Amino acid sequence: MENKSLEVVRIVSASIDRVWSAWTDPAEMKRWYAPESLTTPEVEVDLRVGGAYRIVMEGPDGQHIAKGKFTVIEELRELAFSWKWEGSPESKTQVMITFEEVEPGKTKIVLRHDGFVDDKSQTMHTQGWESSFNKLEKHLV
């Protein structure tokens, strides 16, 4: 079984504090944390190593629920967590995000998502993350 990865890199026009909050505050996550064709009506976050999260994404084809546990939390620097689609036991993967202030008011975000078993899953997640980052950029304005 192969272990495929994806990486998304964006520089956003927002302070690192603002970006961190967008990734960790459930109220903010509801505003952007899903691809552009979906909404995010529910977000639960227990922001501590070993703490769980649950994100409900909704679209015309129904609900998609991502859940997992935080494995690394370095405030304003790094966030890592397991990622699993509810109801899909073979979908467990790992996400790591780093945050770096590249100049005042600009933050570089690097997201790496590892553990895909096939090209289709890797491609779908790449499209999903890219679209979610588009929403994030609009949210941060």
Burial, 3: exposed, middle or buried (Cβ in 10 Å; 0-12, 13-18, 19+)? exposed
pLDDT averaged over every residue in the chain: 95
- In this prediction, residues 85-98 reach a mean pLDDT of 88
- In this prediction, residues 38-52 reach a mean pLDDT of 98
The whole model's pTM is what?
0.92
* Cα gap 56→68, rounded to integer Å: 12
Please give the radius of gyration of the chain, using alpha carbons only, rounded to the nearest integer: 14
Ordered by where they begin, the domains of the chain are: 4-140 (3.30.530.20)
List the single range of 5-14, 55-64, 70-79, 115-124 with lowest mean pLDDT. Answer: 115-124
